[in-house]
Structure 1
Amino acid sequence: MFRAETLKGLVAAGALAALLGAPVSTAQADDSQIVVFAAASLKNALDAINTTCEADVGEQAKISYASSSALARQIEEGAPADIFMSADLDWMKYLSDKNLINTDTEEQLLGNRIVLVAPAESAQEIVLEKGFDLAGLIGDGRLAMGDVQAVPAGKYGKAALESLDMWGSVETKLAQAENVRAALKLVAAGEAVAGIVYATDAVAEPGVKVIGTFPEETHAPIIYPVAQTAESSDEDAPAFLACLKTEKARKLFEEQGFTVLAPVSD
């Protein structure tokens, strides 16, 4: 059964920090180290890439993972990030419109899909199309997803549900989380009957299984842009950005289920 206190614990700042590594504050930042603010769904792939790229960059980056919305707002408030990796174009544009991004470095790096997951022992697989009774599947339980007002995965998920005429029937059954990985944990822990997450999150969590994939035409294209921030002066940041587009990085992104959109460089 879903417990409200469990959701609060998973999405509270302290628990989130333990789960993902909270965004660094100005006091915590090390001026000599590249600081990367990255969408939570990038964690597994980017942790591996950070290790792999160390030789090319000259150091490992300090990476903070959270929702794109939370990270963008922290950058707006002066958090010392050198690189921002968003899970959608909107939050990159939000910072770009405020002249907080070096637009010459911005690139559309990755693509993704959203899927419906359930606890791993679930045997049911479905076709997500108009007419499917998602509310019936959820029953008295909860549907976990990112905050539909701010978290990219939540916004994509709401758009897909609206497109399939499911939103009205499940809106009162939502367990909204601060980022997609927190939503994923609710499903893996059995606190939600199902969840809407990225396909890459499902790869990263053995406690869930994909039971359905949302048609791509039901939501805006899922694109992850990356850019150096306008305030960054770290000399190693361009090398980190370049390494994200190498063949070795491409393989690691694809192993986690991402589609690499940027041209691969040598």
Structure 2
Amino acid sequence: MRSFAFLVPLALGAALALPALADDRGTISIEGRGEVVAAPDTAVVNSGVTTQGATAREALDANTAAMGELINTLKGAGIEARDIQTSGFSVTPNYVYSDARDANGYTLPPKIVGYQVFNSVSVRVRDLPSLGTVLDKAVTVGANTINGVTFSVADPSALYDEARRQAFADARAKADLYADAAGLELDGIRSISETQGYQPPQPYMMGAVAREAAAAPVPVEAGELTFSINVSVTWELADDKE
């Protein structure tokens, strides 16, 4: 019994070690990066209307009328219904605070003196040259809040594919250099993994815009977008060069 218990672990250990000895090859892992720059072809604008009223109903009615006019104007400017989406809605009371105190010396609670209604929509502009005109018309009909403009490329697939080619070529060039310096050659690929990157231009912030400011199409610069791919590739290393 003692001899049998001693021999089994040795046999099992030898069997587990054999596959590692059969494929004990060196590897090299290298990262590559590819970048493609392109002009945007789409913009998203967040535009809204804020109204005040003595009652919530009064503020809401005013807001509903203004938003209806805004949406009709956007559609008249060529924006399709599918590209207009409600992005925010709120009804909040307006308070007035007082330093007056009650008989016990406690500060009196604030009083509601009116209500504010805010309603906003996200608008996708696919005809980028018309963006300035769309902004101008939105403000003209009562949009008193425009929180920003962001740009994008509607279909970046081809841009990312080109970035992938560049990233792999970059990784391969580095791996060839290291292998050559070590007197070795690259063999089969063990693994490839990637991460995507997207660097938009800074949003064009307009903030609250007064209606009186709308006298001409708003000047807008779209800039460029950067689409990048980082790739990590692991190669097996062949035997020493002959």
TM-score class, shorter-chain normalisation, is under 0.3
Between structures 1 and 2, the one with greater helix share: 1
Between structures 1 and 2, the one with greater strand share: 2
Structure ID, larger Rg: 2
Q: When the two structures are superposed, what TM-score results if normalisation uses the length of structure 1? A: 0.23
Q: When the two structures are superposed, what TM-score results if normalisation uses the length of structure 2? A: 0.25
